[in-house]
C-alpha cells in the first residue's frame, strides 16, 4: 500500500489544495500574508475571549452512593462470562471462514 502511495505521489507531483481566501469582517478578500495572520489572530481572540453567560445552567450533583457489588464474582457470573467469551471466539472464527470463502 505504501508503494502505491509513493508511486502515485511521484507520478502526480507536488499537489497542494488551493488555499481558501481569508476575508475581512466586511467580506473583502485579504491578499497580504501579514494582514491574513492578523485577521486570524483577531478571529481567535474574539472566539476565545467571550464574556461568561449571564444565566448559568443549574446542574444537580449526581448521587455517589450507587449500589455496586465489589465482592468476588459468583459461579453464575463466571459461567456467563465464559459463555460470552466462547461465543465471541466462535463468531470471530465464523467471520474468518466466511471471509476466506469469499476470497
- Does the residue 5 lie in any domain? no
Q: Does 7 map to a domain?
A: no
| 63 assigned to some structural domain | no
Q: What is the mean pLDDT of residues 36-40?
A: 94
The pLDDT value given to residue 20: 80
The band of 29, judged by pLDDT with boundaries at 50, 70 and 90, is very high
pLDDT at 53: 76
Give the 3-state DSSP-derived string for the chain, with helices as H, strands as E and coil as C: CHHHHHHHHHHHCCCCCCCCCEECCCCCEECCHHHHHHHHHHHHHHHHCCCCCCCCCCCCCCCCCCCCCCCCCCHHHHHHHHHHHHHHHHHHHHHHHHHHHHC
Q: Which residue has the higher pLDDT, 100 or 33?
A: 33
Tell me which residue range forms the domain holding 85. Answer: 74-103
Domain membership of residue 55 (yes or no) is no
Instruction: Provide the number of structural domains found in the chain.
Output: 2
> Is pTM beyond 0.85 here?
no
Asked if the structure places residue 81 within a domain, the reply is: yes
**Average pLDDT of the chain?**
83
Task: Report yes or no on 36 lying in a domain.
Answer: yes
Give 55-87 pLDDT, tens digit per residue.
Answer: 777 888 887 887 888 899 999 999 999 999 988
Q: Considering the domain boundaries, does residue 53 fall inside one?
A: no
The answer to whether residue 27 is domain-embedded is: yes
Amino acid at each position: 500500500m505504501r508503494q502505491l502511495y509513493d508511486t502515485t505521489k511521484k507520478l502526480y507531483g507536488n499537489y497542494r489544495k488551493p488555499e481558501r481566501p481569508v476575508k475581512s469582517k466586511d467580506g473583502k478578500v485579504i491578499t497580504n500574508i501579514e494582514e491574513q495572520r492578523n485577521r486570524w489572530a483577531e478571529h481567535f481572540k474574539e472566539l476565545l475571549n467571550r464574556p461568561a453567560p449571564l444565566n448559568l445552567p443549574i446542574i444537580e450533583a449526581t448521587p455517589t452512593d450507587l449500589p455496586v457489588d465489589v465482592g468476588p464474582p459468583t459461579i453464575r457470573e463466571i459461567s456467563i462470562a465464559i459463555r460470552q467469551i466462547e461465543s465471541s471466539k466462535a463468531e470471530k472464527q465464523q467471520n474468518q471462514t466466511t471471509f476466506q470463502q469469499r476470497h
